[in-house]
Structure 1
Amino acid sequence: MISSFEKFEEHELKAQEDHEKAAKHESGKRRGGTIKNWQLHHLTLPGGDENQKLFAEYNPTAMLDPGPLMFSGTVVDDPARRWKPGNHMRSSYIVSIDREKGIIETQNTVYKVIDEGDDVLPDLGNGILGVFY
């Protein structure tokens, strides 16, 4: 006979599995949800070409324009449950941007971005690195 507690545990485990499945993009990366009022931040690496090469060596998938890029914005939804709707977020380094499809892929996550972005908030450059959540 299954106890009420065991049924509850079974239900919670199934809910967690469903959540994890929903939070994964077909690329295998975490699905970051939908972000609005987003802004690209162009980072500048100190030390010139040598640091640029070191950065590229340690972050081979990061997009360089000419330095690394991050983005920030306002969360609409987040299936990974890291942020609540209305929270501001900052990404890891960007790997690719598909403006036509409204997709930004970072080293860890794939986000859906809505609106045009880039014109709501200023490019904080390296200043974005000082923003903690």
Structure 2
Amino acid sequence: MPIKPENRSRYPKDWPEIHLAILERAKYRCEWPGCGAGHHHVGYWRGEQFVRMPQVLKDAGYKAGDIVICSDRSELKLLRIVLTIAHKDHTPEHCHPDNLAAWCQRHHLAYDQEHHKTTAYMSRKQRACTLELPL
């Protein structure tokens, strides 16, 4: 996930090297238990499992973003996996390797879901200049 401009100053100067070290530790695969999707692999999700694009689709010229019509008339959207580096404690300044994980965007977003809900609520509240009233 891209770093928001307002948070850029919270990351250490050597973030590119840290980022690369975590990707290398993960062998360029998602570290979420049972995932293993590879950085820049193209394929599709089947439930919780990422399936790499079969060679026959590559040979036919399919690429990320294309929709494949299956024999049962269902559709598969091909996508490109991008690994992101997650801060497990949601604190960009805390860059110890134990606090960082190489996750595909799907699992990074799943992990951050509650945190995003909270921060989105607070952001909306600040923009609206409203107060929290006691019940």
| TM interval, short-chain normalised | under 0.3
Which has the larger share of strand? 1
Which has the larger share of helix? 2
Higher relative CO (Cα under 8 Å, sequence separation at least 6) belongs to 1
